[in-house]
Structure 1
Amino acid sequence: MKTRALLLALASFPLLCIAADEPAFLPKKVGEMEFIDMKDFEGDEKTRGLGRSYRYEGDRLLKADVFVYDKRMKNLKDGIASPEAEAEIAAAAHVLDKMQELGRYKDVKELENGRKTHAGVPFLWCRHTYEHVVEDESKNPGLRVSDTYIRIKDGKFIKVRVSTLQVDLEKDQKKIDALMAEIARKG
């Protein structure tokens, strides 16, 4: 039942999306982060509008998911100054809260939110911390930091969620910045 509720929550949340004819715009490797997987959600009527997601991973628990989607919305205005972009960044907190409610995460906290610029391109941005709930606490790697970035380009949402361990954030920040600069230039 929890898994079904999680799937419903994620399906109803605009995480992923892209048109079937849209090319992958990112290289296989960005800095020290490597492309791992792409998921296409456009083929199924239930998930149409949720586009595609691209997973990148670095060392340890550094992960980035790049979501490109339109939610079947027409005439999305490029940039970050629209009600749709604002709604997407606000929804990021909702998903993390939902994961906590479902018992997957604990101690979810928003640390900051606002705007960040990479390669001259502005993004709406928020930062949260949380811990994964694990059966064996001795295997819990600790507090994680999750950054979410949103912008609209060419009528599609570009959402990036990057997470790493809090203890690794200082060393991973350069990798995150390199990824975001590449997305800003190409996405």
Structure 2
Amino acid sequence: MRKTPSYLKGLAETRARAAGDAQRFKKLHEEIGEKLARAEHDLAACDRLIERFDERLDPGLIEPIHAWQGRYGKRGALGEEIRRIIQSAWPDEITTTEIVWRVQIHFQMSFLTWREKKRWQDNSLRNTIKALLAKGEVERVHDVLYGLTGEVGRWRWKSDAVLSLDHLHAQAAGAGVAVQSCDDAHE
């Protein structure tokens, strides 16, 4: 059997990560599209009703409400949602970026500037993930110095579940690693 060069293994792993990110982002894009369509449908219905009750009112002049500010619902709701997001990705990892997007969608959050979003991410989100890490519920999959290297943070739910051999084989194949079955090894 021919040995695979290390640079090719690294490239295969990078490609496998990119393919996984693309699949997750595509799913997220579909979810956002569905929520956007529902919101636009509700908005149009409200506009029609307002105009029906009083033609002098212009629904377009009604300012949107960003009611999330400082509130995630009941106490602990942010932590519960982040826990659910990371847990739903198991046994795969999930990026900090994807967690941010999913939390924003779930709590219908919007930010006026990228600095406001960064401040929220660096404080609320990071502290919540750190608390989950300290409790031993999640594990860091990236280098601790990822911020300095430009790498995106990656997290995985820590589970006591044992993965099946088929699942491990599928993960290895997805990462571009050739796997030899026990039967093939003895031939």
Q: Same fold (TM over 0.5)?
A: no
Q: Normalized against structure 1, the TM-score is what?
A: 0.29
Comparing both structures, which one devotes a greater share of its residues to helix? 2
Larger gyration radius, structure 1 or structure 2: 2
Higher relative contact order (CA 8 A, sep 6+): 2
Q: Normalized against structure 2, the TM-score is what?
A: 0.29
